[in-house]
Structure 1
Amino acid sequence: MPRTLTETEREDFLAEPRIGVLSIEDPGDRPPLTVPVWYAYTPGGDLSFFTGTQGRTARKTRLLEGAGKFSFCVQQPEFPYKYVTVECTVTGADRAPGADQVRAIISRYLPADAAEAFAKSETEEPTGTFVLFTARPERWLSSDFGQ
């Protein structure tokens, strides 16, 4: 029988470098937009991630700015299966994040040299290509199927 993670367990689990799945309401005729993202989280703090401002990623940015809230899920896809889902409210949208801010997220997923190059290339463009969103987790769901 699965059990609910404790507050410390769920926050520690969310803080690990996993791929998050973001789901945002679409007020039109389409279903919610659900996409994977790289993110950062420190237990007790805010969740942060970036989106693009061009091409297909512009929809994600537009929907986040319009809705001001979203659901976010991370999972452990191998046994013992676990997941944490949080419902969040957007608290900030930085349209010109610095290389340090981008690197803080990217370095969780890429080797240091690749993260440095990526952060530098994406923040040197005059118009910027990222919006760094910050959000406060408000409601949590979690389950540990290994217990």
Structure 2
Amino acid sequence: MKYSQWTGLAAAILVIIACYLPWVEIASLSKILTGMDTAGTNLGKPGKLHIVFCVIASVLFLLPLIWAKRVNFVFCALGLAWALRNFMIYARCEMATCPERQYGLYLVLLGSVIMLAASLFPDMKIVEKKKSS
């Protein structure tokens, strides 16, 4: 893909921004949880790991080296796995209380999928070596 590195970089920025947006609203606690602010729960701050994965992936998207593209796929896959884990944990019902999913949770998941797709198809020019006869 011609613009895969820029698409992946834009998706990484989207995921970082979405970590600060509302993920779920818990009506019984009167709380709106984000990836960086989960006050009143024991969910931690999963947005920090998203940001780490996105910063590493952004640097690797910009490097024109073959090993960087291969390592980038690993970090993007880990980022997608972390996004799926957060989606399942944040969106589940507990003790007859079901949180209302907000747009930030969906944006993190969408951005992680786009990052993985962009890392699958890097824009690399392959140069064949000529055999000397």
TM > 0.5 between the two? no
TM-score by length of 1: 0.26
TM-score by length of 2: 0.27
Say which structure is richer in helix.
2
